[in-house]
Amino acid sequence: MSRVSPVIIIGAGGHAKVLAGLLNAVNAVVIGFTDADTARHGETILGHRVLGGDDVIGTYGPDKVELVLGIGSVRPGPVRHDVWQAYKRDGYRFQSCIHPHAWISPDTEIGAGAQIMAGAVIQPGCRISENSIINTRASVDHDCSIGAHVHIAPGAVLGGTVQVGDGAHVGTGATVIENIRIGDGAMVAAGACVTQDVAANTRVAGVPAKPIGSDKSS
């Protein structure tokens, strides 16, 4: 993981804590966390302080610090996308985070700010777009295409040649068989088994997965 600047982690919740552990494992220089919850200001997490709210970031110029987006997602929605876009407009860069215990085929395309966590496996021919999470022990088989701002949750399994649209969420322990397309903003529930394409902004659950509603907010 190439770094040219120290990093600030946006958010101080569970996903941010896991990222701090990853960054510690690769000896990154972490300035600290930011978080909107004032009760957490001054707290120490894995050796790094919660510095204050996101306004702290403005005290560092975009040429002095890189950002790590520690806001996870449990459903599709615009939060990660909106935070990403706001700081990109201000000229900040987001650091890609790759755990040393992930296995990634050398030909994988990895976008800016992507996060690949411990135990993840990414096979040949895959593309992981910007600001997407391949979480703990998730498996992405050959020739998959993962859009921007996607969360592939812990333990999820994607068969070969799966396409996941921007802003989609594949839940913990879900399975997506080969050649499936998951549309933009779709949500696959935890433990689901997806055997048919999923339309944009649609929620699916069950074995086999079936639609349970739609989400127009994303």
Q: Which residues are catalytic?
A: 142
11-22-40 Cα angle (round to 5): 25
- The two structure tokens encoding residue 6: 């120290």
CB atoms under 10 Å from CB of 25, counted, come to 13
Give CA–CA dist 98/178, Å, rounded.
Answer: 25
Enclosing H/E stretch for 181: strand 181-182
Assess contact for 180 and 162: CB atoms under 8 A: yes
Complete DSSP assignment for 48-110: EEEEESGGGGGGS-TTT-EEEE----SS--SHHHHHHHHHHHTT--B--EE-TT-EE-TT-EE
Burial of residue 59 (CB within 10 Å: 0-12, 13-18, 19+) is: exposed
Give strand pairing partners of 116.
98, 134
